Amino acid sequence: PTLGRDDVELIQRDTLYQGFFRLEALELRHRLFEGGWSATMRREVHNRFDAVGVLLYDPHRDALVLIEQFRAGAIDDPTSPWKLELVAGLADKDESLEDVARREAMEEAGCQVGQLTKLHTYYPSPGACNERVTLFCGLVDTHGLGGVYGVEDEHEDIRVHIVTFTNAWELLEQGRLDNAMCLIGLHWLAGQRASLRAASQRAAPFNKDTKRTQ
In contact, 197 and 62? CB cutoff 8 Å: yes
**Residues near 203 by beta carbon (within 8 Å), at least 6 away in sequence:** none
**Residues near 144 by beta carbon (within 8 Å), at least 6 away in sequence:** 212
Could you list the active site residues?
Answer: 154
What type of residue sits at position 207? N
CA atoms within 13 A on the CB side of 208: 11
3-state secondary structure of 44: strand
In contact, 181 and 133? CB cutoff 8 Å: yes
3-state secondary structure of 163: strand
Residue 87's φ and ψ, nearest 5 degrees, are -60, 135
Cβ burial, residue 181 (10 Å; 0-12/13-18/19+): buried
Question: Quick one: DSSP state of residue 209?
Answer: -
What type of residue sits at position 131? E
In contact, 213 and 110? CB cutoff 8 Å: yes
